[in-house]
Structure 1
């Protein structure tokens, strides 16, 4: 009887955690560190014109700590990207690094967004619910990305989207339907899909 109960509890936790976005992100970080991710790196100028594009099968993104002001501050904005056995450094211009399989749906959402909602809610409770969803299941979202001067450059969307901090200043990591998106020095707005429908 105890074995069955223990087995039931273990099955519950495996199912629960397998759906948890935070756990998926932890495994994505682990995979990036030890295997690398197959990704496309793109940098853009202020007018959202593509400067360069690099595709790699084993990519690791990290802050280059050599440029930190001191060991405690961790303020370097220089990105060190390992691509297979090669590396590149980047700072300054807008950069999007998308895991292979993420589709830029820019043309679907190229128009200006004008969203309105008259639905009432309790802000503090809504905030708690949204934070919980970000950690566990994600939400249906659309990510509109612009260059630093506000020129639109890319759009991504998914059913299970969660946002994460990275160790690189002025960057954001997103988990979109199990795939990783890294956004550096870009303006962006992330909408619940329901706001745009």
Structure 2
């Protein structure tokens, strides 16, 4: 009987430790996926589309490149006499295929090739300035491209700093994480990286949109 109780106790402890291990693994999935994407960007770079916009969400420029790496230009960090950073730089240093570009100020998004900016497709087919003001833009977009939203879990609506929509992405799995650059956010959309700088955004459950 004593041996049986010890065996039962060991089995129970294994089950408990197994559950704890699984919980830790699952809770750390987001960090692990982001770490993997950061590692690839640092050592190989990502194939990305980089776009900047003015306050009215008009496209300023669009660059498609390989081996893209985006990071904070620490040259512009303000430090005190002890070498401690008192004000972080908001300047971006972007490497594209071994060449460099510097950016600060206006809204910028960068997304991996293979991702679709649904808003761009929508803007090609709808005259946004003349659309019915009584129908919210996002609802109209969902109706126009319903197949792009059906079966997906979430949608990201990205806006310029004055609130004008400029990009929309949808995916089954969307995760958010912070970055070293102030005023920016990293997203993982079905395993692909989306970097958003100096933009407003909202993330919706698609059931909210499809039920409208």
Q: Which category of TM-score, normalised to the shorter sequence, fits these structures?
A: 0.7 to 0.9
Q: What do the CA deviations read for 1:147-190 (whole angstroms, capped 9, x no partner)?
A: 11111111001001000100101001000000000000111111
1:51 to 56, 60, 65: 60
Which residue in the other structure is 2:185 paired with? 172
Max radius of gyration: which structure? 2
Contact 1:65 1:74 in 2 (8 A): no
In structure 1, list runs of 5 or more residues that go unmatched: 115-138
* Aligned Cα root-mean-square deviation (Å): 2.3
**C-alpha displacement of 1:73:** 3.4
1:38 to 37, 41, 47: 47
When normalised by structure 1's length, the TM-score is 0.74
Which residue in the other structure is 1:25 paired with? 34
More relative contact order in 1 or in 2 (CA 8 Å, sep 6+)? 1
Distance between the aligned counterparts of 1:113 and 1:57, measured in 2? Answer: 31
Which residue in the other structure is 1:183 paired with? 196
Choose between structure 1 and 2: higher helix proportion.
2
**C-alpha displacement of 1:192:** 1.6
Which residue in the other structure is 2:176 paired with? 163
Residue 73 of structure 1 pairs with residue 115 of structure 2: no
Distance between the aligned counterparts of 1:193 and 1:21, measured in 2? Answer: 21
In structure 2, list runs of 5 or more residues that go unmatched: 1-13, 129-135, 140-151
Which residue in the other structure is 2:162 paired with? 149
Which residue in the other structure is 2:96 paired with? 83
Which residue in the other structure is 1:129 paired with? none
Dislocated runs of 4+, deviation >6 Å: none
